[in-house]
């Protein structure tokens, strides 16, 4: 079976840095995605990691360790518009499985 875990909620302050962790156990692994989802909207793509290491894209970075079944999403210079849910997803064989998402609250 598959299991993807991430914290349910996190709170951070505007301008700060926050790290959202994701651990996974899957029978197959082809890559890991991070998506952002605002309430009532479809998820939008943030990052895709296939190999171990850090992928940086502007204020957002994502890290993957395949041997540990672990990833994190790092958000820098937080802005109020970053208040959203962040979804970790794993490509397993020919399907894509999502975690339950982490709701991030940004305080001014």
Which range in 21-29, 38-46, 54-62, 74-82 contacts another protein by CB under 8 A? Answer: 38-46
Provide the token pair at 45. Answer: 């793509």
Provide the token pair at 24. Answer: 């996974």
Residue 38 per-residue DSSP state: -
Of 68, 72, 76, 95, nearest to 7 by C-alpha is 72
70 is an interface residue for another protein by CB under 8 A: no
CB 36 within 8 A of CB 43: yes
24 is an interface residue for another protein by CB under 8 A: no
The number of residues that bind another protein (CB under 8 A) is 20
Q: How many residues does the chain have?
A: 108
Task: Say how far apart CA 66 and CA 102 lie, in whole Å.
Answer: 21
16 is an interface residue for another protein by CB under 8 A: no
60 is an interface residue for another protein by CB under 8 A: no
Q: How far is the CB of 15 from another protein (least distance, A)?
A: 27
Which range in 54-62, 63-71, 73-81, 91-99 contacts another protein by CB under 8 A? Answer: 91-99
Residues that bind another protein (CB under 8 A): 31, 33, 40-45, 48, 87, 89, 94-101, 103
């Amino acid at each position: 079976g598959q299991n993807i875990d991430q914290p349910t909620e996190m709170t951070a302050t505007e301008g700060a840095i926050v790290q959202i962790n994701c651990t996974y156990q899957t029978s197959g692994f082809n890559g890991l995605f991070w998506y952002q989802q605002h309430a009532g909207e479809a998820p939008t793509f943030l990052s895709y990691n296939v190999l171990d290491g850090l992928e940086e894209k502007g204020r957002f970075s994502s890290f993957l360790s395949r041997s540990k079944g672990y990833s994190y999403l790092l958000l820098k210079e937080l802005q109020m518009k970053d208040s959203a849910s962040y979804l970790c997803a794993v490509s397993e064989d020919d399907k894509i499985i999502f975690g339950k998402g982490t709701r991030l609250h940004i305080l001014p």
